[in-house]
Chains A and B, each alone.
Chain A
């Protein structure tokens, strides 16, 4: 089987990228991921529980995230929680998506549109 290329997964949906970003810093359980997304986007992106897990499962199927083997110290742990972490592929996909966004932001057309948008607002 071919080694999967990160570019095959691009472009990511905004939610998917946010999930990858949240897991990039450290392993988190579901609630912590959603909290992180909320903080990172200033509350502009909210994800409901059940679509979130469907998405997470799909990303797991695609090999971007996996269940973390290590759990926090026992006194902080809650057996009912499940911790997720990025796979290598996940890290590479996140990086590829980040590069794609940076390239996009560098285009003069995008910069002009952004200026016009803020000028009107």
Chain B
């Protein structure tokens, strides 16, 4: 171990020893420290993991034993005092005493219980989400070896391209770094289950034979899909656990049964375990890609890049090695098939965990940190309450001490009391967490991945119990030590011991305020981010718009004339649906990715070689697209109905491209070089956020679909009818025109936009809730201290009033003194926030890390609440009747 490591271990061992009651500590002495240090050195020699494990287990065991010793210390003294009885009997009696003492003072016990329950509950719920989503390994064997395989183009920074089936086969055959490779897609329309009376769509994953081997999970019943199934004529299906329960009656012999899916008979060969949730937790059936007729989707065509893939990296290889290996194979494929593969000459591997969890982990870590701050606040708050109570009991305890109760015994009682309260409160917190977790998952509105894996679990319960014990020890030890070390004479004089104690409480309040500032400013920043996210104009009107994504397969519509014919029919058919105001189409719907990229150049603005700005997104659109989407035309005419057919190479460009190419002059009528083709600009439209809501619009060129047709188009349908009705009609129309046509995605545009803000809304809401809790706890803390001080100083205030002090003077005095620790806390909190905020940078949008308004608002809210908390006791003080105050005792 390093010298610093030894120092840390030494400090840890020392503090562990200090948890014990003095009697035990005196007997064991520092031998315990030495032993822990020696054992830590032994563990460190076995590795960092062993050392960490050693420290954690010994901390937990040590906490438990310290607790037991305190309880025993308290009961033993009971016995020597002649309390009678031995063992459990006396322990129960001591506990009974504590419980009776507490129930006589519900004004103390109830707020403590509520605070602890809230703090532990919030933490436990948050921890179970963090654990389920981020920390828990994926429920597949050796999940760290499973990767998602994507086509990549390092030049463009593209790492999420899809693959063709022949690509996947070649990668599987040639790679020595991957053990198994499987392709899958959910793009074709779901299969329809018939047979038990009604027809119903079941969420379908189409997979290749390597898919289940790559995932590594064995079916619960039967077997997975194999290579033999791919060549056989038999239709076979593997079903999910939910499907098995729902449609097969959880029949243990289900693997011999058959189901009818989209009019074909499928033999059930396997049932997956409940935890298997890939590609989606909602997937109900897995069928082979080979069951898709080539006439519907020609998967054997290399150029048809619609597949996702997963692979299992060989155990002796790293992901980086596998990526290099696959990239080399992919590069040779790009050379062999330049037409099909030159676009995506590389391969990118993403660990499956990253692709499932996404970028949510940072946000959850920030929320977990916020929850831990709340727990610290809870500790400070209950410690404050306990100190106030101890102070109030001061004369009584001093009397007891004078009658012979030792300091250690009094401390033991106080600590037992604190632990009891915190454990009961912690159980309440567990109950809160139980329901709170569901609430939390519900509030996340589907933005949390792996939500089905979040749930109560022994780790979560352990966390909760540990949290409440920590709370109990923290808030019990401080007043406990105070009770033990009380200066008898000073307490009986009721006053002189107060100054030091008040300083301690003032510090507690200041730290509470500081933590509240951190949470308040943090949540204000997040709320402001959400606000700016929601006010981002995506560049089109999403209300009343439905999007239907389709690809016209080459097998059914082999050439350009055929699929353009089909495209026209689709537009006409959609227009004929009653109540439809307009129909257009685009290569890729906004917020769904950039589409193709092409170099552009304009007179006076030559194409540069490496500048990303010199690439424009190219989108093929129908003539009506801009009108239907509500994208304003800034200049020029847009496309006429015959655009693309009259021999003119016309293009509409986005405002940002027009400004880059022709600053200070009109772009309409000017030439544009697009990847070597001479285009004529006929219009300029407003910028549209094509990639994501949070990403600035990129220069974009729109071409008429008839000029440069593409098989894949997103149809946009505007109507004032209910979106659900429109979607139903669209589905019926597509089925009637061509039953084999898959709709890749059908959704209201508002949902597509909304999804981009859902997550931010969830995190802002969560942090705001934590901040609210912090504010409430901080206010209670301030109020408690000020009110207590007023009560203690009744005489002094009475004298001041008797000597002629006016009510406003008294109020000013009380509020001024109360706000002093608040001011200290605000400054400390601001400094802490400025230091911590960089960790949350990735969660913010459209608001600076050091946004003065957020900081100002956070502080203002806190100060006003603190002022009210001071004002209430100040008002009481100013109404004090001097006669009664002076005649009262103490």
Contact = CB atoms under 8 A, between A and B. Distances in A.
Interface of A: 29-31, 34, 48-54, 56-57, 60, 78, 80-82
A50 B55 CA distance: 12
17 contacts: A29-B31, A30-B34, A31-B35, A31-B38, A34-B35, A48-B57, A49-B32, A49-B36, A50-B58, A50-B65, A53-B28, A54-B68, A57-B24, A78-B34, A80-B29, A80-B30, A80-B33
Contact of A57 (B16, B28, B58, B61): B28
The 3 closest A-B pairs by CB, nearest first: A82-B31, A80-B30, A50-B65
B61 A50 contact: yes
B317 to A, nearest CB: 35
Given A31-B38, A48-B58, A48-B61, A53 B32 contact: yes
Contacts of A60: 27
B540 to A, nearest CB: 65
Contacts of A53: 24, 28, 31-32
Interface in B4-44: 16, 24, 27-36, 38-39
Given A31-B38, A57-B24, A50 B66 contact: yes
B30 A49 contact: no
B69 interface: yes
Interface string B273-290: 000000000000000000
A31 B27 CA distance: 16
Contacts of A31: 31, 34-35, 38-39
A82 B29 contact: yes
B46 to A, nearest CB: 13
B455 interface: no
Given A31-B39, A57-B24, A57-B28, A49 B34 contact: no
Contacts, number: 61
- Give the residue among B24, B27, B33 with the most A Cβ atoms within 10 A: B27
A93 B38 CA distance: 30
B582 interface: no
Nearest to A52: B35
A31 B58 CA distance: 15
A29 B38 CA distance: 12
B62 interface: yes
B68 to A, nearest CB: 7
A49 B69 contact: no
A49 B68 contact: no
Given A30-B34, A51-B65, A57 B39 contact: no
Contact of A51 (B16, B31, B61): B61
Given A34-B39, A50-B58, A82-B28, 18 more contacts: A29-B31, A30-B32, A31-B38, A34-B35, A49-B36, A49-B39, A49-B62, A50-B61, A50-B65, A51-B61, A53-B28, A53-B32, A54-B24, A54-B68, A57-B28, A78-B34, A80-B29, A81-B30
A78 B30 CA distance: 10
Nearest to B31: A82
A84 to B, nearest CB: 9
- Give the residue among B28, B68, B69 with the most A Cβ atoms within 10 A: B28
Interface in B46-100: 57-58, 61-62, 64-66, 68-69
B34 A80 contact: yes
Contacts of B36: 49
- Give the residue among A50, A52, A80, A82 with the most B Cβ atoms within 10 A: A50
Given A31-B38, A57-B24, A50 B62 contact: yes
Contacts of B33: 80
B541 to A, nearest CB: 67
A50 B19 CA distance: 11
Interface in B352-386: none
Nearest to A82: B31
A30 B35 contact: yes
Contacts of A56: 28
B396 to A, nearest CB: 32
Contacts of B30: 80-82
A80 B13 CA distance: 13
Nearest to A34: B35
B198 to A, nearest CB: 58
Nearest to A83: B31
Contacts of A49: 32, 35-36, 39, 58, 61-62
